Amino acid sequence: MSRIDAKFAALKDDGRKAFVAYIMAGDTDFETGLEVMKGLPDAGVDIIELGLPFTDPMADGATIQLAGQRALEGGQTLAKTLDYARRFRENDDTTPIVLMGYYNPIYSRGVDRFLAEATEAGIDGLIIVDLPPEEDDELCIPAQKAGINFIRLATPTTDDKRLPKVLQNTSGFVYYVSVTGITGTAEAQSSDVAPEVARIKAKTDLPVIVGFGIKTPQAARSIAAIADGTVVGSAIVDRIGKGDSPKDVLSFVRTLADGAHSA
């Protein structure tokens, strides 16, 4: 059983929904970002999404784009991002870490080398937003063989014809993108999300986690109530970008986690 599977099993036993937090590795600098990451479990985070900085983040809005830019300007690399996981694992061997980003840095490093390093560093899952199911042989299948979950995105435009293809070879959980467009823009509406989550769950036994457009504890609660959990990214990254201290960022994260867990 993977760390992700174990986490969802434990949450189910506790009757709680999952709270997933996204941060960008290396934002605003290596040590500050690592301090925030290490504090996430104590702030109530069940699964950590660790952003891999990239120069052309097509799915991301201004907040995440700027975080990636800050990280890259500070010297963050794929190797340093994997080092985040290694440093985190020195004191936490249970919280799942999902690396989220784009394929280019992985392709440049070499898939076999990357998967070996990611496994050794303690990465549990991958969300690679620009690799469609038609390209599963590139990374998805090798990742699964290496014991790393490959988590797929479903969106409001994923119709019934496309959904089975999206779910094929997906593991860990399904990430439902609640809005059409980029991160950090429109707000998710539970009335719109609920029927889509039900439609996906009718086709898979995997947990369905909802992200994009969730910015407040109230929104985290309302979305978690109709899914298996929720993801918050831009609202957290925005606090980091504005210069909030790690302590203040983690206090804000705690309010979001409490919202999701109260669903």
Q: Which two tokens stand for residue 62?
A: 């201004």
Active site residue 13: no
The runs of H, that is alpha helices, within 15-150 are 30-39, 62-73, 78-89, 103-109, 111-121, 140-145
- Which residue is catalytic, options 49, 124, 136, 228? 49
- Angle, helices 190-201 vs 217-224, to 10°: value is 40
**3-class DSSP assignment, residue 211:** strand
Contacts of 187 (CB under 8 A, 6+ apart): 179, 213, 214, 215, 219
| 49 has catalytic annotation | yes
Long-range contacts of the stretch 151-158 (C-beta < 8 A, 24+): 151/98, 151/125, 151/126, 151/127, 151/175, 152/127, 153/127, 153/129, 153/177, 154/196, 154/200, 155/180, 156/180, 156/192, 156/196
Helix, coil or strand: residue 185? coil
Task: Name the catalytic one among 60, 124, 136, 238.
Answer: 60
Spatial neighbors of 221 by CB under 8 A, at least 6 apart, are 259, 260, 262, 263
**Which residues are part of the catalytic machinery?**
49, 60
